[in-house]
Amino acid sequence: MPNIKSQKKRSLTNLKRSAAITSEKSALKTQMKHVLKAIADQNKTAAVEANDLLNSRLDKAVTSGIYHKNYASRQKARFSKAINALV
């Protein structure tokens, strides 16, 4: 544990930020699973709705610095391609 007051504060801030990032990543992965489940069920309308929410969350994650913009772009393209392949 640090002895300097500012480092104690920084340590607490880092823990809070880490928890927030972990939570956001978990929510994104859950949303990806929802999209994949809708695709597996061949339910295009549900997949499109879930994908819209996923795209929004990916954009927010990029803005907050959780993921790189290329990662988000790749995921969007991957899910869009899978949804467009549905009949």
Tokens 């949303």: give the residue. 31
- The model's confidence at residue 1, banded by pLDDT at 50, 70 and 90, is confident
The vertex-49 CA angle with 35 and 68, nearest 5°, equals 60
Q: What is the mean pLDDT of the chain?
A: 96
The pLDDT, as a whole number, for residue 87 is: 78
Domains: count for the chain: 1
Residue 68 sits in a domain whose CATH number is 1.20.58.110
DSSP structural state of residue 44: H
Q: Which domain holds residue 62?
A: 5-84
- Burial (Cβ within 10 Å: 0-12, 13-18, ≥19) of residue 59: middle
Q: What is the pLDDT of residue 35?
A: 97
Predicted TM-score (pTM) of the model is 0.84
